[in-house]
Structure 1
Amino acid sequence: MNQIITPFLKWPGGKRWFIEKHYDLLPTQYNRYLEPFLGSGAVFFTLKPDEAILNDINKDLIDTYRGVKTRWRKVYHCLSEHSLLHSKEYYYDIRSSTYTSLEERSAQFIYLNRTCFNGIYRVNKKGKFNVPIGSKTRVLLDTDNFRAQSLALKKTRIFNKDFEDIIEMAVKDDFLFVDPPYTVRHNKNGFIKYNEILFTWEDQLRLSKSLARAKDRGVKIILTNASHESIRELYKPYDFNFLETSRYSSISATAVNRSNFEELIVMANL
């Protein structure tokens, strides 16, 4: 398991940039790894922890992880069929289809993620994925290694819960990597919401209080968030450490809005 494992999804706000720039911040010793906002799992697949608790509120995303964990061969077979048949008409046919088996739903999710516009995940008011087709046509990638991803996931417990439920599971010397949707007070940060479940400012408040309790329990914490004074104000009273950084964002629909974003890394007990 020393091999490099590339995430099988591209996700808005994914943390591959964090691995490249700030790998040295990650603790080398900890008990369990917990990630309440999983997304593409870039940090998890890099660390390949011995024991992990993974979670996301997006049920389709979590079901896809469960499919890769338990039925990766069947998922790959279905994805291979999508690769052979991919076209504009086929994309919209698959986008509108409803599948029952875990492997078919997992392959559908990965297929749409790889061929939709900019890897965006967005649903309509009925909860249906509605992102148009993108310019990328490759469905199977050179970095695909579903067997290795499945092996890494074997040691995990995967949940579809509220983030606070997962944070409350963390105890002394566990490591929490927390990457929530970026929302700031007054919602003037310019970050786009891709899910029907809005991560509100009240959620940010709830998150900060939950992480403060985890800090007091001796949990190792790294949080990434928007670099905004309203975010700093949430964590200053609890004596968290701050690091300013930046990343390039390519998820905007227009090239002019694709640029570097200032981000804030919030840490404790490292």
Structure 2
Amino acid sequence: MLLPFLKWAGGKRWFADRCMHLVPETFERYIEPFLGSGAMFFALRPKQAILSDLNDDLINCYRAVRDAPMAIAEMLAAHHTDHSEDHYYRVRADKPDDPVMRAAWFLYLNRTCWNGLYRVNRKNEFNVPIGTKTAVVLDSDNFAASGRILRGAELENRDFEQTLALAGDGDFVFVDPPYTVKHNLNGFVKYNDRIFSWADQVRLRDAVVEAAARGASVLVTNANHASIREIYDGVGCMEVVRRASVLAANSKHRVQTDELVVRTWLPARPIVTDTALAVEAMS
């Protein structure tokens, strides 16, 4: 199994490991409008895909791995040799203009910052402090293989609505947005440079309904919250899965969390609450 080369807050490696039974058996094209670590994409290895995200640095990283995987590996090896607290903060303060160098910069910070978070300040400057992990080059790295798989994907920096508008008959759409709930901006929001609002959640629901009406099979993961269940009521089959949150700095505060899964291609039925998946959610 080819593992994602990025860590991401709310990453779905745990979902790819444990929940493939929720994916349609066959589909022609894979679409993911909130790319993040791309765990589902790498697990499925589709021949055709549309991958998008609003994070320009993220999409640039994927394009560079697709187009120049060996250069990325060499630059990461140099960062691995030089890694220290001083090196981290020097690199963090000096974002390259060259796309391939910027991708290596992004990957290095992703692997050595606190919990693999992506967060920027009001000047759009990455500002996450150094973390405890020191490995920049990983045993699981296979940028050549990742690049080959990515050659079949369109990689776009854009809003989710534009990507979902392309979904139709024969497509499988995996939708994993920031978990904002009504009246409460929860913890995931602060890790995004653009706040994903409740209005965005409603706009997303509408885009999902429209994509399903055109024949796409859409799977949505979201917070298991009454407000989310309400807006997806009647959209499809709802199920609850459980994962272990690892975002808290103190391990004592890391608790099991329920997440809601909505699948548009199955008849609506009551929520299932006995699927206990006590697994790592951050990968």
TM-score by length of 2: 0.92
> Does residue 117 of the first structure (1) align with residue 122 of the second (2)?
no
Aligned to 2:274: none
Aligned to 1:233: 230
* Partner of residue 254 from structure 2, selected from 234, 258, 269: 258
* Partner of residue 265 from structure 2, selected from 248, 252, 269: 269
RMSD: 1.1
- The 2-side partners of 1:103 and 1:125 are apart by 25
> Does residue 97 of the first structure (1) align with residue 94 of the second (2)?
yes
Deviates more, 1:12-21 or 1:187-196: 187-196
The letter for the 2-side match of 1:202 is A
3-state SS of the aligned residue for 1:186? coil
Q: Is the 8 A contact 2:178 2:189 kept in 1?
A: no
Q: Is the 8 A contact 2:95 2:105 kept in 1?
A: no
3-state SS of the aligned residue for 1:10? coil
Aligned to 1:167: 164
> CA distance change for structure 1 residues 106 and 190 in 2, over 3 Å: closer, same or farther?
closer
For residues 226-269 of structure 1, the C-alpha deviation after alignment (integer angstroms, 9 at most, x for no partner) is 0001001111143x110011111111223333111110000011
Q: Is the 8 A contact 2:50 2:154 kept in 1?
A: yes
Q: Is the 8 A contact 1:120 1:251 kept in 2?
A: no
For residues 69-124 of structure 1, the C-alpha deviation after alignment (integer angstroms, 9 at most, x for no partner) is 10111111111110110000000000001212111101110000000011111111
Aligned ranges 1:203-222 → 2 under 5 Å: 203-222=200-219
The letter for the 2-side match of 1:67 is A
Aligned ranges 1:34-113 → 2 under 5 Å: 34-113=31-110
- The 2-side partners of 1:21 and 1:263 are apart by 13
- The 2-side partners of 1:196 and 1:154 are apart by 28
How far the C-alpha of 1:25 sits from its partner, in A, is 1.1
- The 2-side partners of 1:25 and 1:121 are apart by 28
Q: Is the 8 A contact 2:9 2:247 kept in 1?
A: yes
> Does residue 246 of the first structure (1) align with residue 247 of the second (2)?
no
- The 1-side partners of 2:4 and 2:19 are apart by 18
3-state SS of the aligned residue for 1:187? coil
- The 2-side partners of 1:151 and 1:257 are apart by 40
The letter for the 1-side match of 2:84 is S
Gaps of 5+ in 1: none
- The 2-side partners of 1:261 and 1:125 are apart by 31
3-state SS of the aligned residue for 1:176? strand
The letter for the 2-side match of 1:105 is R
> CA distance change for structure 1 residues 261 and 192 in 2, over 3 Å: closer, same or farther?
farther
Structure 1 residue ranges (4+ consecutive) displaced by more than 4 angstroms after TM superposition: none
How far the C-alpha of 1:196 sits from its partner, in A, is 2.0
Larger proportion of helix:
1
The letter for the 1-side match of 2:11 is G
Percentage of matched positions with identical amino acids: 47
- The 1-side partners of 2:165 and 2:189 are apart by 28
3-state SS of the aligned residue for 2:191? coil
Aligned to 1:202: 199
- The 2-side partners of 1:156 and 1:183 are apart by 28
Deviates more, 1:182-191 or 1:38-47: 182-191
Q: Is the 8 A contact 1:78 1:103 kept in 2?
A: no
Deviates more, 1:180-189 or 1:75-84: 180-189
How far the C-alpha of 1:191 sits from its partner, in A, is 3.6
> CA distance change for structure 1 residues 173 and 189 in 2, over 3 Å: closer, same or farther?
same
